[in-house]
Structure 1
Amino acid sequence: MVKNSLLFVLVLWTQLSMAQDGRYAIFFKDKDATTFSIENPLAFLSQKSVDRRVKNGVAISTEDFPVNKSYVDQVKSLGADILYTSRWMNAAIAQLDDGELSDILLLPFVSTYEYIGPNAEVSGGRLRKVKDKKDSNLGIVNQVQLSMLGLDDMHEENVYGQGVTIAVFDSGFPGVDQADAFKALFDEGRVIYTKDIIGNTGNVFQYDGHGTEVLSIMAANQTGSFLGGAPKANYQLYVTEEVSTEFRIEEYNWLVAAEKADSAGVDVINSSLGYNLFDDASMDYTKSQLDGNTALVSKAASLAISKGIFVVVSAGNDGNSSWSLVNPPADVDGVLAVGSITSTGNLSSFSSVGPTADDRIKPDVVALGSGVSVIKSNGTTGFTSGTSAATPLITSLVAGLMQSFPELTVSALYDLVVASGSMSDNPDNLKGYGVPNYSGAKIIQLGEEPREHTSAVYLFPNPSFGNTVKLEMDVPIGQRATIHIYNLQGQLMLKSEGEIDYSNNPVELDVSGIGSGLYLVKVESEGILRTIRLIKL
């Protein structure tokens, strides 16, 4: 016993001798003596958060309880500057000076600690998450990025994400509170919560403009020139990314943002951030750790899913680097990790690939990420590239499907999105399950249920990567239909007509004879006149 005690003291002394000023996660042993109870969840969760758990079959647990305030106060009394606490990890994140850590570790309720970054003054800085392009022909590209996922068809059904709350984790949102493109968000009270986690200033409309661009892809609405994918959703904005440095503190920022979003009743998290290599090499993750369970940010994303939150993240922009693989938290099972393709359907060279360390397919899906139109922090329109630009497009699709099928659990909605992918029958570790599609997802979901409208027409897969597309129509057996496909110059490229019955509905169209591009598919039948955009890649 004496020998073991001496060994413990020696190990502790060795650890503390290497301790340094900086930011630390201080973990607690328990949540004893809490004033909260499972029977009264509204004391620490919103009603919407509780309702979301009920829908997803998630039980309230002590994990949801806030950290013991007495523990935090005692740590603070020893000189720690408490930045925030984490209820999921039962920890306090604190800024410490030399000597304070040794006193804190002697507290009986403290279990362990982790050094997560140096003390720092937060400001804007370098940005490695996204690449900019010059403005060019904005309208066409804005249409293509929506059409690829069927978001234009979604909008035709008046589905714009109404009633869905999306949390955006990013590096800052300068100009959002000033630009005309975001005016409706504020006029209609749909920016429902903001939090500057990195600086605790109370102002998210500062720092780096990456978050502004990401938000615009979903939320902007500039009449006649720009429309986001989910412009009528509700939004929560969180600044979690310190772009001038890269330390594990940012993973804890992400964690705490997820906890706050959970408490506030968020439905979807959009995160265009990922973490693998750091300014302190001792913090780096290895490829063997891409198992969805090792990185702190991966644990946080997994916990968010377990609370009934749908999590959409960028795969990463390391396709051209020696790392090449997806970045945590894209390695999590159940997280919808988004890769990037070009307007012609090719994988963007920068898009990170799979598999995970335990050989799961990643990314899960892809969307346009090369040359995506955005609203910049100065209110002008432009283009940007990166998996971080593809991610909010997919989040817009998720929001639309969540609005259309509010009864779906997070896991069921995830399955529906990947099932609608253009490569759902043959997924790989470059594009995952391919490009998902709103109309395709609706067909899958409603496949065994009566249609709401007898004149509905569905075209899938759209975009099309192969030589055939299918057209499903709700028409009486024996009714004739005529299908024309035109290019944008009005030239007839394909014509098909005949009687519709169960044996040939959906109609399979051979499009091998037309090249890549944007086409108009005109469908005519008794009581039906519908024009649908087709993207052939």
Structure 2
Amino acid sequence: MCGVEVAGFERVLSRAAFSYVRIVREYLRDAYVHLLASFPKGDFMRPLGLRGEEVVERIGPWRQLEGVRARVVSDGLVALTIPGDKCDSRLLSTLLEKCRFAQPDFDVYPTLYSSVFVIGAPGAWDSGVTGKRVNVGILDSGVDAEHPALWVEKEFNFSWGSDEDTLGHGTHVAGIVSSMDSKYKGVAHHSELLSAKILAGPASDSVIIEGYEWLKDHNCGVINMSFGRHTGNPINDLLREPIRRGWRSGVVNVASAGNEGPQIGSILAPGCFEECITVGAVDNNKRLAVFSSRGPTLDGRIKPDLVAPGVRITSCRSKYSSGEGEWKIMSGTSIAAPHVSGAAAILLEYCRESGVNPEPNLIKNTLMASAENLRYDSNEQGAGLVNLPEALKKLEENPAPVSLPPSKYSVAWVNPELTPTLLSELAQIQKRYRLNSVGRIAGDCLRAYGKGAGMESLRLISFSVLKSCLKEELRAILGVEERLGPQLRGRSLRKHVKNALAELERNTC
């Protein structure tokens, strides 16, 4: 698929999409190509019926495209699923005739690495602001609505999994924002929780966008996004489009920075987007977490914007997830982000009660202008640690955007590739375990690599997998194997897992 053959549509495919289409066509005819495509408004008719149904109303050649499925996930953004055995140049030229840009429908992963007093929340509560009448959207793995410390106003499942929060990630995040427990009280414990379940393992960009639009349409003032993936272009990434529109319409977007630290330039999407308040992690002694992703972004901007507690934080446990009891300890920038979402909800309540227009830029400027400087580099801590009492004082001053000190870090990050040795070990592990840290696109490329696809597939796998998530899952598998009886253990499997972990450690900066 090169040269003249792709001339009709290659102009709109990202480099990753071009490689992905070629790999599926040449090595995986039984698989599907999953693309996210941007069309000018009005040039793609919204399908009738439920989400995910076949397109049945479209002028012209669309009626002949049997087997192709499409759904409009946001204004101008369409998720396309194309059978590999039909993905020829003629079909792609027809599908993408009026397309502006297309990229793989990438998978995103929870930014979890295997409080409220630190940011001064009780001082804000003493002022009478607790997030009342502010809708906070949890875009995550769902929320256990039966947890005694939580109250969920509305919820919807956009994922491929069950309605329950079997990962436990979203429930933990929701508790940090809005737990009503007297001991483990959420930052904005009187806020209104709305849950859009998009994670049941990895989730595609298109599902993320659908969940985000649903939360925005239900008047969420804050949307928390504790997940991430790599991006090669934080300016033109299609995931940015709905998030940018939400910010401009008044939604405060809060995103985790990622757990790919201490590598510089490792901020994940959506945290690398300008229209997000991006949050790194510190421990309860205000020390930067080694796993917290560092900036700058690939276009040279300082990120994260703030840091918040994200090491060994106790919050709500979903009864459908692993563990026992009502509470669970977790770490990660996933856990830091909801501290800032709760802080944003408190500032929104204060604005509304004071007659101040609660624009997202005002909330972001206020949180950054009032943050406690922890004396780390700007691309490690942003403006510093969230300080809610100071933020309430600063809000009345209508602070200007914060100018951060110059960083010692430059744009020098290249996505560290997984090695052929590691891929060989993962192929053996997958014979017994399904790896949730290897999403749909990476899984297909891993199969193609085994069939001889070579370095092109290896680069796409590396771009589609987060090493931090892969390491945590391999450690969990090793723990399961160690607990099995001698007759059930896979001695060779444990060797493959240990070899994979060793290879990851060798190739992690």
Q: TM-score, normalised by structure 2?
A: 0.63
- Partner of 2:381, secondary structure, is coil
> What is the rounded CA distance, in whole Å, between the counterparts of 1:72 and 1:171 in structure 2?
37
- 1:434 counterpart = 2:392: no
For 2:332, the equivalent position in structure 1 comes to 386
For 2:32, the equivalent position in structure 1 comes to 22
- Partner of 1:296, secondary structure, is coil
Q: CA deviation at 1:326?
A: 1.3
Per-residue CA distance 1:194-214 (angstroms, 9 max, x = gap):
232221x6x532331111111
- Matching residue within 368, 383, 399 for 1:418: 368
> What is the rounded CA distance, in whole Å, between the counterparts of 1:10 and 1:365 in structure 2?
41
- Matching residue within 202, 207, 210 for 2:166: 207
For 2:105, the equivalent position in structure 1 comes to 116
Q: Tell me which amino acid in the other structure corresponds to 2:373.
A: M
- 1:254 counterpart = 2:254: no
- Matching residue within 145, 148, 158 for 1:180: 148
- 1:165 counterpart = 2:139: no
Per-residue CA distance 1:433-487 (angstroms, 9 max, x = gap):
1112222122222359xxxxxxxxxxxxxxxxxxxxxxxxxxxxxxxxxxxxxxx
- Partner of 1:444, secondary structure, is helix
Q: CA deviation at 1:293?
A: 0.9
Classify 1:35/1:77 alpha carbon distance in 2 versus 1 (closer, same or farther; 3 Å).
Answer: closer
For 1:89, the equivalent position in structure 2 comes to 76
> What is the rounded CA distance, in whole Å, between the counterparts of 1:368 and 1:295 in structure 2?
29
Per-residue CA distance 1:188-233 (angstroms, 9 max, x = gap):
xx522x232221x6x53233111111111112222x3321112221
Classify 1:294/1:33 alpha carbon distance in 2 versus 1 (closer, same or farther; 3 Å).
Answer: closer
Give the 5 Å matches for 1:446-465.
446-447=396-397
Q: Comparing both chains, which one has the higher relative contact order based on Cα–Cα distances under 8 Å and sequence gaps of 6 or more?
A: 2
Q: Higher helix proportion, which one?
A: 2
For 1:156, the equivalent position in structure 2 comes to 126
Q: Tell me which amino acid in the other structure corresponds to 1:313.
A: A
Q: CA deviation at 1:97?
A: 5.6
How much is the aligned-residue C-alpha RMSD, in angstroms? Answer: 3.8
- 1:396 counterpart = 2:357: no
- Partner of 1:319, secondary structure, is coil
- Matching residue within 288, 296, 302 for 2:238: 296
**2:113, 2:259 within 8 Å by CA — same for their partners in 1?**
no
> What is the rounded CA distance, in whole Å, between the counterparts of 1:96 and 1:369 in structure 2?
42
For 1:271, the equivalent position in structure 2 comes to 225
Q: CA deviation at 1:104?
A: 6.4
> What is the rounded CA distance, in whole Å, between the counterparts of 1:197 and 1:73 in structure 2?
30
Per-residue CA distance 1:395-444 (angstroms, 9 max, x = gap):
10000000001322111111111111112999711111111222212222
Q: CA deviation at 1:339?
A: 0.7
For 2:111, the equivalent position in structure 1 comes to 129
**2:8, 2:93 within 8 Å by CA — same for their partners in 1?**
no
Q: CA deviation at 1:99?
A: 1.3
Per-residue CA distance 1:253-292 (angstroms, 9 max, x = gap):
222222222222221110110101xxxxxxxx45xx4xx3
For 2:284, the equivalent position in structure 1 comes to 343
**1:24, 1:94 within 8 Å by CA — same for their partners in 2?**
yes
Q: Tell me which amino acid in the other structure corresponds to 1:221.
A: M
Classify 1:29/1:441 alpha carbon distance in 2 versus 1 (closer, same or farther; 3 Å).
Answer: closer
> What is the rounded CA distance, in whole Å, between the counterparts of 1:108 and 1:361 in structure 2?
35
Give the % identical residues: 19
Segments of 5+ residues of structure 2 without an aligned counterpart are: 12-17, 47-54, 320-324, 399-509
**1:84, 1:94 within 8 Å by CA — same for their partners in 2?**
no
> What is the rounded CA distance, in whole Å, between the counterparts of 2:65 and 2:6 in structure 1?
26
> What is the rounded CA distance, in whole Å, between the counterparts of 2:9 and 2:383 in structure 1?
53
**1:204, 1:237 within 8 Å by CA — same for their partners in 2?**
no
Classify 1:332/1:72 alpha carbon distance in 2 versus 1 (closer, same or farther; 3 Å).
Answer: farther
Classify 1:424/1:6 alpha carbon distance in 2 versus 1 (closer, same or farther; 3 Å).
Answer: closer
**1:341, 1:370 within 8 Å by CA — same for their partners in 2?**
yes
Per-residue CA distance 1:494-537 (angstroms, 9 max, x = gap):
xxxxxxxxxxxxxxxxxxxxxxxxxxxxxxxxxxxxxxxxxxxx
Q: Tell me which amino acid in the other structure corresponds to 1:389.
A: I
- 1:99 counterpart = 2:96: no
For 2:404, the equivalent position in structure 1 comes to none
For 1:71, the equivalent position in structure 2 comes to 58
**1:78, 1:104 within 8 Å by CA — same for their partners in 2?**
no
> What is the rounded CA distance, in whole Å, between the counterparts of 1:363 and 1:270 in structure 2?
15
For 1:326, the equivalent position in structure 2 comes to 267
> What is the rounded CA distance, in whole Å, between the counterparts of 1:23 and 1:34 in structure 2?
19
Q: CA deviation at 1:315?
A: 0.7
Q: CA deviation at 1:127?
A: 7.7
> What is the rounded CA distance, in whole Å, between the counterparts of 1:131 and 1:415 in structure 2?
28
- Partner of 1:147, secondary structure, is coil
Per-residue CA distance 1:121-141 (angstroms, 9 max, x = gap):
xxxxx9863245xxxxxxxxx
Q: Tell me which amino acid in the other structure corresponds to 1:262.
A: K
> What is the rounded CA distance, in whole Å, between the counterparts of 2:298 and 2:10 in structure 1?
32
- 1:191 counterpart = 2:153: yes
> What is the rounded CA distance, in whole Å, between the counterparts of 2:183 and 2:36 in structure 1?
49
**1:23, 1:117 within 8 Å by CA — same for their partners in 2?**
no
Q: CA deviation at 1:146?
A: 1.4
> What is the rounded CA distance, in whole Å, between the counterparts of 1:314 and 1:80 in structure 2?
37
> What is the rounded CA distance, in whole Å, between the counterparts of 2:93 and 2:82 in structure 1?
14
Classify 1:350/1:306 alpha carbon distance in 2 versus 1 (closer, same or farther; 3 Å).
Answer: same
Classify 1:96/1:421 alpha carbon distance in 2 versus 1 (closer, same or farther; 3 Å).
Answer: same
Q: Higher strand proportion, which one?
A: 1
> What is the rounded CA distance, in whole Å, between the counterparts of 1:447 and 1:131 in structure 2?
37
Q: CA deviation at 1:344?
A: 1.2
Give the 5 Å matches for 1:468-487.
none
> What is the rounded CA distance, in whole Å, between the counterparts of 1:7 and 1:340 in structure 2?
45
> What is the rounded CA distance, in whole Å, between the counterparts of 2:135 and 2:385 in structure 1?
23
Per-residue CA distance 1:314-370 (angstroms, 9 max, x = gap):
1111114x5662111211224111011111111011111112233322111111111
Classify 1:325/1:115 alpha carbon distance in 2 versus 1 (closer, same or farther; 3 Å).
Answer: closer
> What is the rounded CA distance, in whole Å, between the counterparts of 2:351 and 2:40 in structure 1?
39
**1:343, 1:370 within 8 Å by CA — same for their partners in 2?**
yes
**1:168, 1:235 within 8 Å by CA — same for their partners in 2?**
yes
> What is the rounded CA distance, in whole Å, between the counterparts of 2:10 and 2:276 in structure 1?
38
Larger Rg: 1
- 1:241 counterpart = 2:199: yes
Classify 1:233/1:84 alpha carbon distance in 2 versus 1 (closer, same or farther; 3 Å).
Answer: farther
